[in-house]
Amino acid sequence: MTHEGSAMLYRDLGKTGERVSILGFGCMRLPVLDGRRERIDVPLATEMLHYAIDHGVNYVDTAFPYHGTSFERPGESEAFVGGALAGGYREKVLLATKLPTWVVGSRADMDRILAGQLERLRSEQIDCYLVHGLSAGSWAKMVDLGVLGFLDAARADGRIRYAGFSYHDDPPAFAPIVDAYDWDFCQIQYNYMDVDYQAGRAGLEYAAGRGLGVIVMEPLKGGRLAGRAPGEVQALWDSAAVTRAPVEWALRFVWDDPRVSLLLSGMSAMEQVVANVQIAAQGKAGSLSPGEHVLIGQVREAYQARIAVDCTGCRYCLPCPEGIDIPLILGCVNNATLFDDPAAELATYKFELGAGHTAPASACTECGQCSEACPQQIPVPQEMAKASQILD
């Protein structure tokens, strides 16, 4: 399963005994037809996945809602992966998918959902099964519904091999979730811009120190770190002794930490697959010099200087009476400014609206409760009005 003779590099997946390619194939951003996320370009996506596996990638990640029109129903990604791995490819990879916490209302739902996933994936077993998108609140809900017993039973009867979770919350909730179960691995967002975001570097250290494999998602911050860099950022990259594309700097930053088992890249074009496989051959832990880490820090600071709204994400402004996730929306506005890509942030905003994570910025009634609570003294209603003009 490990293709040790190829140029691909491999690391341990925590205490599981598995050796995983440092590059994993994420199936959330596959190529589509007519711009419709539910219409995967199956021939091209299959060619991309097979190329990656043929060149040593042995971890494939999908999830219940990927490439769907609603978070409440299965998307097309799992069924695509099931078909694409037929003909001998299934045996070459660790297959990962996730339990959608937001549609679980009972212990029986967990078994029903997993059964459907096994059917769509055309597999009798899922190697790496994650409880999807955990936060303090969703974890408490899942524990109450019996998720610990479900995971124990699914491992015992062979429906899943390894149990893990993906994380989307502020830093304090991470360690209690790590300590609450005998996890095999976890999945966190991490990149050179997000070293203190959600689980962050501290969470990476905590999980790895307890023997969990650590899988990194969003190493390119949704592709933002791979695109055209603003002038002042590109000038910093150009000053480096070694010439690298922005995507290589971003991936190498994550791989440089030996506690990272692998990173997931949501590739949507064949050229991205080819490039990422080539870059992975250079992704040895500790291979970046101290000077290169200083340069990456300067790039981070250059990006941060472009921030439009000085929101620290402390969340003192919440809960909003109208259900607006104020830091999330201000984050979209800031990212549009940071990366010169308003279209990408509009897509992110629509995704978050569709997922029910926030009410629209236009829902603001200017009650002022948020401004009174903000330690940064941000005039939040005015910023919501600006955000609505940009995003709504």
User: How high is the pLDDT of residue 314?
Assistant: 75
Question: Is 314 part of any domain?
Answer: no
- Number of separate domains in the chain: 2
The pTM is what?
Answer: 0.85
Once rounded to an integer, what is the mean pLDDT over residues 228-254?
A: 95
Domain that holds residue 240: 10-297
Once rounded to an integer, what is the mean pLDDT over residues 311-327?
A: 87
Question: Is 360 part of any domain?
Answer: yes
Once rounded to an integer, what is the mean pLDDT over residues 222-238?
A: 89
209 — pLDDT class (breaks 50, 70, 90): very high
Answer yes or no: do 105 and 213 share one domain.
yes
Answer yes or no: do 238 and 359 share one domain.
no
Once rounded to an integer, what is the mean pLDDT over residues 331-348?
A: 85
Strands 94-99 and 59-61: parallel
**Percentage of the chain surpassing pLDDT 90?**
80
Q: How far apart are CA 262 and CA 283, in angstroms?
A: 10
Within 127-220, residue ranges assigned H as helices are 136-145, 147-156, 174-179, 200-209
Question: Is 356 part of any domain?
Answer: yes
Query: 228-231 contacts: CB < 8 A, separation 24 or more?
Result: 228/340, 230/302, 230/303, 230/306, 230/338, 230/339, 230/340
When mean pLDDT is compared across 84-88, 236-240, 306-310, 379-383, the lowest value belongs to: 306-310
When mean pLDDT is compared across 23-27, 85-89, 209-213, 229-233, the lowest value belongs to: 229-233
343 — pLDDT class (breaks 50, 70, 90): confident
Note the pLDDT tens digit of each residue in 62-103.
Answer: 999 999 887 789 999 999 999 999 999 999 999 999 999 999
Domain end marker among 254, 282, 297: 297
User: How high is the pLDDT of residue 233?
Assistant: 93
How far is Cα of residue 326 from the mean position of the Cα atoms in its chain?
A: 21
User: How high is the pLDDT of residue 179?
Assistant: 98
Answer yes or no: do 49 and 123 share one domain.
yes
Which position has the higher pLDDT, 347 or 190? 190
Once rounded to an integer, what is the mean pLDDT over residues 117-142?
A: 97
Answer yes or no: do 190 and 233 share one domain.
yes
Q: How far apart are CA 250 and CA 265, in angstroms?
A: 11
Answer yes or no: do 111 and 245 share one domain.
yes
- Preceding amide of 375 cis, omega within 30: no
When mean pLDDT is compared across 18-32, 67-81, 163-177, 333-347, the lowest value belongs to: 333-347
Look-up of token digits 């978070």: 71
Question: Is 311 part of any domain?
Answer: no
The answer for 378, left when phi > 0, alpha when psi is -120 to 50, beta otherwise, is: beta
Structural tokens at position 63 = 């999830």
User: How high is the pLDDT of residue 6?
Assistant: 57
- Of 126, 121, 125, the residue nearest 82 (C-alpha): 121
Once rounded to an integer, what is the mean pLDDT over residues 304-311?
A: 84
E-state strands within the chain: 10-12, 19-21, 23-26, 59-61, 94-99, 126-134, 160-167, 185-189, 213-217, 262-265
User: How high is the pLDDT of residue 2?
Assistant: 45
Answer yes or no: do 149 and 221 share one domain.
yes
Q: How far apart are CA 325 and CA 71, in angstroms?
A: 18
**Percentage of the chain surpassing pLDDT 70?**
98
User: How high is the pLDDT of residue 139?
Assistant: 97
CA distances from 92 to 3, 95, 268 (A): 9, 9, 21
- Of 89, 79, 86, the residue nearest 121 (C-alpha): 79
Answer yes or no: do 345 and 293 share one domain.
no
CB 89 within 8 A of CB 50: yes
227 — pLDDT class (breaks 50, 70, 90): confident
Answer yes or no: do 201 and 346 share one domain.
no
Which position has the higher pLDDT, 146 or 306? 146
- Of 263, 286, 267, the residue nearest 275 (C-alpha): 267
User: How high is the pLDDT of residue 5?
Assistant: 43
- In this predicted structure, the answer to whether residue 183 has a pLDDT above a threshold of 70 is yes
Tell me the CATH number at 241.
3.20.20.100
CB 52 within 8 A of CB 289: no
- In this predicted structure, the answer to whether residue 192 has a pLDDT above a threshold of 90 is yes
Answer yes or no: do 257 and 135 share one domain.
yes
4 — pLDDT class (breaks 50, 70, 90): very low
Residues 6 or more apart whose Cβ sits within 8 Å of residue 137: none
Answer yes or no: do 281 and 336 share one domain.
no
Mean per-residue pLDDT over the chain, rounded: 93
Alpha-carbon Rg of the chain, whole angstroms? 21
β-strand partners of 126:
160
